[in-house]
A and B are shown apart, each in its own frame.
Chain A
């Protein structure tokens, strides 16, 4: 177990997401095969896997956007058969509306989920600050860089304050510094607001730095081939955590599993 004062690894927590034997086919192509995993409440889980192994597809199934041929998903005990209000998704592409400025795009999720009144009453300045978008509120998406657009998309979902946060390579388009900063912000928000996070990433180091657990997927058809618990102390810090020997061991182990070490 972990030292007092640190967030306990959610060993005892109830299951938030139960992935039960999910198989997904696109015609003759099997994208996911018998994927099974349990994600506990308030757990931070990353998914690593080679490109095309079905990570985004799995995320879509978790989000209730597409169905699957076999198996199913339970979130907080209820079978997923469509999008849920307590689940927020950050997609691999920054889904902004080109005709809305950044402020309106940030409020869009709230507006659709909770109505205009709530959206208007919500303070977005802290989020704008966190995302490093200050001064760009009145700009339009096409006036922003790819990484900035991604940050807006992340902000839109975070403002909805979903209990379960599904993120598909949200930090891929960012430079190392911004990435570190947003990683830490994500950890802060996750701990403060007691969220369950599923993060898809291509970065082994990012997965180790952030997660309680890393699920490693195989080449297509995607299966969970390893479930690695990251037993590093929290709160984590980019520079300090990375320097620790244990961090390096996890990275080496995962690299080997991914066939890149």
Chain B
């Protein structure tokens, strides 16, 4: 067997072993379903509740997408401001660093008070979680423009605008993509936290309701879907990031 196939086979076998252990363990020790449902029960529940799960997924997806989009646009803008305006570097940058240190989970109740139970509070939470990694990595990317290329552009008499688009932006992109990869799963976490604290729907809300009413299997189903959503979104960024194939060196 060749390397990668062997690796995949090993991972698959390990997975199957875990499934057997879970399923077998739950059946053998007759674990109460509200504590830990069997995998087959979770699968059946997922199928049964598929429309409900779909609905809540779309809600959460919308929150994540909006939060992430705002985080990207505002994060890049703020990074550029801090990078290019010395006054912003002296005033905004320390402020951003300080804000970043606030545990954002602790903000969730206040955000719900401010923005209500609807979409806005969840978008804000997703935004808050995704925002800082994007600011920091974009700043790092802008600063990583090789000095010898900058000098070359200066020697060519490039206007600031040309230097920005033709040199700074492409230099910053690899780092920005790394930031987006970190930020996307964080945006999902942010949205779920927002839903936990106050919401009428969304996968976080479903997890909360299902667990509270001892529908543990449904809660696991929702968790499974959140995980899937997060993975899909991550690989979407990863795939888009492939367009930025160059690395400085």
Closest residue to B146 on the A side, CB-wise?
A95
Instruction: Tell me how many residues of A have a C-beta within 8 Å of chain B.
Output: 20
Interface of B is mostly: helix
**A91 contact set on B, CB distance < 8 A:** 148, 151-152, 155
Interface residues of A in 35-94 (CB under 8 A from B): 60, 63, 65, 83-85, 89, 91, 93
- Contacting pair B149 A95 (CB below 8 A): yes
Tell me the minimal C-beta distance from A110 to chain B in angstroms. Answer: 9
**At the interface, yes or no: B21 with Cβ under 8 Å from chain A?**
no
Interface bin, chain B = 10 to 19
Closest residue to B170 on the A side, CB-wise?
A99
- Contacting pair B151 A97 (CB below 8 A): no
**A83 contact set on B, CB distance < 8 A:** 154-157
Asked, given contacts A97-B167, A112-B162, whether A89 binds B246 with beta carbons under 8 Å apart, the answer is: no
The 0/1 profile, CB within 8 Å of A marked 1, for residues 132-145 of chain B is 00000000000000
**A65 contact set on B, CB distance < 8 A:** 151, 154-155
- Contacting pair A63 B246 (CB below 8 A): no
Closest residue to A64 on the B side, CB-wise?
B155
- Contacting pair B148 A95 (CB below 8 A): yes
The 0/1 profile, CB within 8 Å of A marked 1, for residues 236-249 of chain B is 00000000001111
Assembled-state Cα–Cα distance A63/B151 (Å):
10
Closest residue to A60 on the B side, CB-wise?
B151
Interface residues of A in 220-238 (CB under 8 A from B): none
Closest residue to B158 on the A side, CB-wise?
A112
**At the interface, yes or no: B166 with Cβ under 8 Å from chain A?**
yes
- What are 18 A-B contacts defined by CB distance under 8 Å? A60-B151, A63-B155, A83-B155, A89-B152, A91-B148, A91-B152, A93-B148, A95-B149, A97-B170, A98-B246, A98-B248, A99-B170, A99-B246, A108-B156, A109-B156, A112-B153, A112-B162, A160-B156
Residues of B within 8 A of A (CB): 148-149, 151-158, 162, 166-167, 170, 246-249
* Known contacts A65-B154, A98-B246, then 8 further A-B pairs from the complex at CB < 8 Å, ordered by chain A residue: A83-B157, A91-B148, A95-B148, A95-B152, A98-B248, A99-B246, A113-B157, A140-B246
